Amino acid sequence: MNDRFEHIDNIFREGLGELNSTPTEDAWENIAGKLKENKRKRRLILLSRAAAIFAFVITLVTGYFISANINIDKQNALSDAAVEQKATDSNPDQPVKSTPEKNNQNINNNSTDVNPGTAASINKVDKRTPVKEPDAILINNNSTPAAIKRDNQSQPTGITEKMAVTRRIGNLNKAENKEVLLPTGQKTVNPFVSADLSDNNNIPVSDRNAVDPYLDEYAINALNEEKNKLRFQLSGVATPLYASVESRPAGERQSLAFLNAEPGDPEINKDALSAYTAGLKFSVSKGRRLSVQTGILYAKVDQRHQFEAFERITVSDESTAQNNTDRIISPSPAGAAPPRLGFELDQTGETSEQNDTEENTTRLNQYVQTITDDVEYLEVPLSMRYTVINRKLEVNVLGGMATNFLISGRRKTSSSAGIENSSDITVALDKVKYSTHVGIGFEYPIYEQLVFVLEPTLKYYMNSLESINQTKADPFAFGLYTGVNFSF
Amino acid sequence: MAQKALYELMSSKMFGVCVRYSNNHEDAQDILQDGFVKVFEKITQYEGKGSFEGWVRRIFVNTALEKFRGQVRIIATEDNLLKLNNIDQHDPVNDQLSEKELLAFIQELSPKYRVVFNLYAIEGYSHKEISDMLDITEGTSKSNLSRARTILQQKVAKYYHQERSVI
């Protein structure tokens, strides 16, 4: 049989192998226009990515300043309480109400009472400015002990002590209830247990009457310990995704759909796209603010499409009609199908079979065709997470990238005519996809180490779902990751 | 402009490839445009291995396949019961067939047969390679090729008979 066909092969190979044909004159204009349009699209994508990064940075910076203000307010509240407590402790009969305004006035009015160095230090102290260098406290304490008057008449002393207490509380604030290491090697408990300064007994004797030089050591050690401690979190999350698909070459967003929207709904252009993600995330943080998060997630994207179609049944021989049937599925002219994930439908069926054999007879059946594409991915994200608000309700901003590995892609077709077919469309899809994401995370403690997590996240897929088809899908996706964190 | 110069140099040859894989001028024009856009956007990926024309040609073949791949798949499932008997075994005289006539015969084939015939008989790909490119089985590829050859043979023979009867 091969010999029989070799001749026919040769005829066409020799006749058409080097076939030249002249395209229409406007072909180059179309190509140039398309190149220009693609360049513009790429520029837009680049700009949108830059805008996303910019927005992320702005969010990060804003978050930082918001959280810094919150911490300062907390320190001030604690220091006020501490100073009042100290004053009460020194002179129980004359409780001192210390306010920032009073303190500042007192510093100015009584500056002659104090050592100039101390005064200078005091003047530098702004209630709104956290003291950063622990040495400043030690200088006040060690170099000018005489200047610190401990009776309640001397307001500058009160301020100095307040400064010291503020400093220590500021450092110890993050290390409540933690053991700290003394310079002697002994361990002790943070003297500001739960910052409960209203109970005098909770403040060690050493701290009631004087500024203990060791306290700054406690603070430094506690802070260092806090900073160097690694924290781990394991999260189980799941999310529905809201996705948008762009089809090319039209360049218009073809379908927007939420979850299992019913096909046929004119609002969604007869397309339905549902997606969800579920899996485990693991995060490591050093310190309380910044953490790195990765994990493994299963993502599934389903897209359905329904349209009117007609079936052409070509029968080459009446006697073998049952066996020799070629089915061509074509969208009807009135209800032209929009581009789809996976493969194009046969849209040239009208003429494709007419010339096969002269004996062919053709029948047309009109029916409703439904196509469902199921695509599965394994997603490995890598995110940076920054804690903006560190209270009972923790607020984080996060951003990063994810790699999506294609697991499978299947297309199922079914029709009211009873024709059902299933095919593998994996080959038509990109094996690896990359996405960027930004989001905000909310965490609320449920029980001990368990924390409820809610993360609205915006994803942008950097390459299209498909690699070979004219129909391209570049979805943006919005997901509401919901789950539970376990900290250890 | 270098792009336009390249286009002018290769457009007629590549349009020849496009029309072989299409059954109408519009489709061929679409493939030509998509193919050149790909060539210009991916030209940096050409590593100098093999001829440049071969690389460009490959892009055009792949672009054509993208257009018809779905049609090959959808129809191929019904294509295993070919009747190869009673085929008129005429020896066509290829001198009498012009490029235009040969092209018309190929374009009259359905996409499933046209694509496989082009890939195997004219481009020289093996059934294994075709099955990988189109994501069909080797059996389907062979079956489509066989059917394409049979149809073409009938058309050539019919043409030959008509010519002889005129003479």
Question: Which of A16, A24, A346 lies nearest to residue B70, judging by beta carbons?
Answer: A346
Contacts of residue A319, defined as CB under 8 A and 6 or more positions apart, other chains included, come to none
Q: Does A14 touch chain B (CB under 8 A)?
A: yes
Q: Return the SS3 of A27.
A: helix
What residues of B are in contact with residue A329 (Cβ under 8 Å)? 74
Facing A15 at nearest CB: one of B67, B97, B151: B97
Are the beta carbons of A346 and B94 separated by less than 8 Å? no
Task: For chain B, say whether A50 makes contact (Cβ under 8 Å).
Answer: no
Interface confidence, given as ipTM, is 0.79
> For residue A315, what pLDDT is reported?
54
Residues 66-85 of A with CB under 8 A from B: none
Would the CB atoms of B7 and A31 count as touching at under 8 Å?
Answer: yes
**Chain-chain contact of B15 with A23 (C-beta, under 8 angstroms):** yes
Task: Say yes or no: A7 contacts chain B, CB-CB below 8 A.
Answer: yes
Which residues of chain A have a CB within 8 Å of the CB of B19?
19, 21
User: Which residues in chain B are contacts of A5 at CB distance < 8 A?
Assistant: 146, 149, 153
**B92 pLDDT band (50/70/90 cuts)?**
very low
A360 contact B CB<8A: no
Query: Residues near A305 by Cβ (< 8 Å), separated by ≥ 6?
Result: A263, A270, A271, A272, A337, A338, A340, A370, A371, A372
Q: How far apart are CA B6 and CA A331, in angstroms?
A: 38
Give chain A positions within 8 Å (CB) of B54: none
Contacts of B28 in chain A (CB under 8 A): 21, 23
- Please report the pLDDT score of residue B111 as a whole number: 85
* Distance in Å, alpha carbon of A12 to nearest chain B alpha carbon: 7
Chain B residues within an 8 Å CB radius of A323: 81
Total domains, chain B: 1
A27 interfacial to chain B (CB closer than 8 Å)? yes
Chain A CB contacts of B42 under 8 Å are: none
A353 interface with B at CB cutoff 8 Å:
yes
Measured between beta carbons, which residues in chain A are less than 8 angstroms from residue B80? none
B32 pLDDT band, cuts 50/70/90, is very high
Give the Cα separation of B133 and B141 in Å (integer): 11
- How many beta carbons lie within 10 A of that of residue B54, not counting itself? 10
Query: Which residue of A3, A12, A341, A369 is the best one to mutate when testing the B interface, meaning the one whose CB has the most B CBs within 10 A?
Result: A12
Q: Do A357 and B151 touch (CB under 8 A)?
A: yes
A179 C-beta neighbours (distance < 10 Å), count: 13
Judging contacts by C-beta atoms under 8 Å, the chain B residues touching residue A34 are 33, 37
pLDDT value of position A249: 40
The answer to whether the Cβ–Cβ distance between B92 and A11 falls below 8 Å is yes
Query: Which residue range is the domain that position B36 belongs to?
Result: 2-166
- Put simply, the answer to whether B79 touches A326 (Cβ < 8 Å) is yes
Decide if A352 touches B, using CB distance below 8 A.
yes
Residue A346 is nearest to which of B16, B75, B153, comparing CB atoms?
B75
- Decide if A222 contacts A467 (C-beta within 8 A): no
Nearest by CB to residue A22, choosing from B15, B98, B99, is: B15
Amino acid at B124: G
What is the tens place of the pLDDT at every residue in B56-70?
Answer: 998 999 888 887 765
End-to-end Cα spacing for chain B: 53
State the smallest CA–CA distance between residue A345 and chain B in angstroms: 6
CA distance B91 to chain A (A): 8
Size of interface A-B (CB pairs under 8 A): 170
- State the Cα torsion A318-A319-A323-A329 to the nearest 10°: 10
Q: What's the pLDDT at B159? A: 79
Burial of A97 from C-beta contacts in 10 A (0-12 / 13-18 / 19+): exposed
A291 or B90: which leads in pLDDT:
A291
Helix axes B52-76, B2-21, angle to 10 degrees: 30
Go through the domains of chain A in sequence order and give each one's CATH number.
65-228 (no CATH), 230-306+375-487 (2.40.160.20)
**Cross-strand partners of A215:** none
Q: What average pLDDT does this structure show over B40-44? A: 86
Kindly compute the dihedral angle of the four CA atoms of residues B36, B38, B40, B44, in this order, to the nearest 10 degrees. Answer: -150
pLDDT tens across the length of chain A (488 residues): 455 667 778 888 888 887 888 888 888 888 988 888 888 888 888 887 887 787 778 777 777 777 666 666 666 666 666 666 656 655 555 544 444 444 444 434 443 343 444 434 434 444 444 444 444 333 344 443 443 334 444 444 444 454 544 455 444 444 444 454 555 555 555 444 444 444 445 545 555 444 455 556 666 676 666 566 666 767 676 766 665 554 444 333 333 333 233 333 333 333 446 677 888 888 888 777 888 888 888 888 777 666 666 555 555 544 444 444 444 444 433 333 433 333 333 333 333 334 444 445 555 566 667 777 788 888 888 888 888 888 888 898 989 988 888 888 888 877 766 667 777 777 767 788 888 888 888 888 888 778 888 888 888 777 655 544 444 455 667 777 888 878 77
Residue A11 forms contact with B (CB below 8 Å)? yes
pLDDT of res. A227: 60
Burial (CB count <10 Å: 0-12, 13-18, 19+), residue A294: middle
CA distance B44 to chain A (A): 15
Closest chain B residue to A15, measured at CA: B99
